[in-house]
Amino acid sequence: MDKKAIERILSTERLGPYLKHHSGNFDKAVAHYKANIEISESFYPLLSILEIGLRNNIDYQLKRKFNDNNWYENQDFIKIASRFQIDRVSEARNNILRERKVITTGKVISELSFGFWTSLLDVKFERTLWKSIRLAFPNCPKNIRKRKTMSSKFNGVRKLRNRIFHHESVTWSIAALTNYKNEIIEGIDWLDRDLLFWSQDIFRFDEVINKRKELIQ
């Protein structure tokens, strides 16, 4: 593709940060843009395992707490929930109906956003939900299994996830990317003792970074 076509399709605004990073070198900027896509892709298995594991572990613990498979509609939960959680549940139900599907507990749980799940780690729920939710991290050492620790970790991962899923740039620091990878891996390990071992054969972050590190440094 020629330069004008690339600029038109990708947009000069989107390419701007890459051009700045490479002192206006268009070829390097475009190569970096492609590397950003590949590195973002390498995070998908990590993020997928973490997000699904987190929501299902929390769901399991809250089912136990409220003795209700549909705990998100239980009046005891609604009494302590904020407008944010209530709205996210309504959105999940509406999305399912919009697709002409039958609303089931499993569909609602899978439709709820990562932001919904991380919001349950907010300080607001320290005295109401945390005692149950902490059990969602059985492999986390008890001395660091604190609500504040979990909120910081998983909200940090959520910000990276959102940037990647919205096709934004993330590849400006190998150290920062490696730290994110380590944070996610630690989170996966906390969810289950064997989950990391079971899933690590599909993790290719290190391989991709080694291939692209000279370009993005």
Confidence of residue 103 (pLDDT cuts 50, 70, 90): very high
- pLDDT attached to residue 215: 86
Cα dihedral angle (91, 92, 94, 97), rounded to 10 degrees? 170
Average pLDDT, the chain: 96
Is the per-residue pLDDT at 217 higher than 90? no
Comparison of pLDDT for 217 and 97, the residue scoring more: 97
Q: How far apart are the first and last CA of the chain?
A: 25
Q: What is the mean pLDDT of residues 55-70?
A: 98
Neighbours of 130 (CB within 10 A): 21
pLDDT exceeding 90 applies to what percent of the chain?
95
pLDDT exceeding 70 applies to what percent of the chain?
100
Whether the CB-CB separation of 84 and 119 falls below 8 Å is answered with: yes
Domain chopping of the chain, boundaries: 39-216
- pLDDT attached to residue 1: 79
- pLDDT attached to residue 2: 86
Each residue's pLDDT tens digit, 1-48: 788 899 999 999 999 999 999 999 999 999 999 999 999 999 999 999
Q: What is the mean pLDDT of residues 144-166?
A: 96
CA distances from 76 to 25, 173, 176 (A): 59, 45, 41
- pLDDT attached to residue 37: 97
- pLDDT attached to residue 171: 95
